[in-house]
């Protein structure tokens, strides 16, 4: 029913979330994607195996890049400044926290990206006959993903 408190019967809605990047002012994002991890597969077959196939074992974990999309505001170029800190093999790495919020604004699921840094920034496309908001895209690489319940 409408107006009910969130419980364990219904899945969480995905439209109420917050993103925090340490040492950078708060920013509101339109979309977050790429919260994934996979274990690379190692295939092995020893020489005296009677099976005519390989054994599959889990290998190194691989984390995908996270993509953040946000509206462009006048004078707001903090992510460009973070990207411009990239020098030869050095970058300022920051923790990034993504929180899925309940109706009271309290975190229910929290994803923390370890040692995150921007790998790509894409400015908005422009159309003379368009009526959409200007949106920029920030792609972030990281070295680990921790998940916690709020």
Residue 125 belongs to domain with CATH number: 2.30.110.20
Asked whether residue 85 is assigned to any structural domain, the reply reads: yes
What does pTM read for this prediction? Answer: 0.84
Would 134 be classed as within a structural domain? yes
Helix (H/G/I), strand (E/B), else coil: 42: strand
Domain around 142:
17-37+63-149
Instruction: Please report whether residue 7 resides in a domain.
Output: no
Greater confidence (77 vs 150) lies with: 77
Residue 52 lies in a domain: no
Task: Yes or no: say if 122 and 137 are a contact pair by the CB < 8 Å rule.
Answer: yes
Residue range 57-85, pLDDT digits in tens: 999 999 999 999 999 999 888 899 899 99
Structural domain contains residue 132: yes
On whether residue 139 sits in a domain, the answer given is yes
Strands 107-122 and 135-141: antiparallel
CB atoms within 10 A of CB 63: 17
Could you give the number of structural domains in the chain?
Answer: 1
Average pLDDT over residues 35-58: 92
Cα 16 to Cα 103: distance, rounded to the nearest angstrom: 8
Per the domain annotation, does 57 fall within a domain? no
Domain contains 43: no
Phi-psi region of 143 (alpha: psi -120 to 50; beta: other; left: phi over 0): alpha
């Amino acid at each position: 029913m409408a107006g009910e408190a969130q419980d364990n019967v219904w899945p969480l809605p995905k439209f109420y979330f917050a993103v925090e990047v340490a040492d950078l002012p708060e920013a509101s994002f339109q979309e977050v994607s790429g919260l994934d991890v996979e274990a690379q597969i190692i295939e092995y077959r020893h020489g005296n195996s009677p099976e005519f196939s390989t054994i599959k074992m889990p290998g190194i974990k691989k984390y995908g890049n996270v993509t953040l999309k946000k509206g462009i505001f006048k004078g707001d170029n903090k992510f460009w400044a973070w990207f411009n800190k990239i020098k030869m093999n050095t970058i300022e790495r920051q923790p990034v926290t993504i929180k899925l919020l309940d109706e009271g604004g309290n975190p229910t699921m929290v994803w923390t990206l370890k040692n995150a840094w921007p790998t790509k920034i894409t400015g908005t496309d422009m159309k003379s006959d368009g009526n959409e908001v200007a949106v920029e895209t920030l792609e972030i690489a990281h070295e680990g993903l921790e998940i916690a319940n709020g």
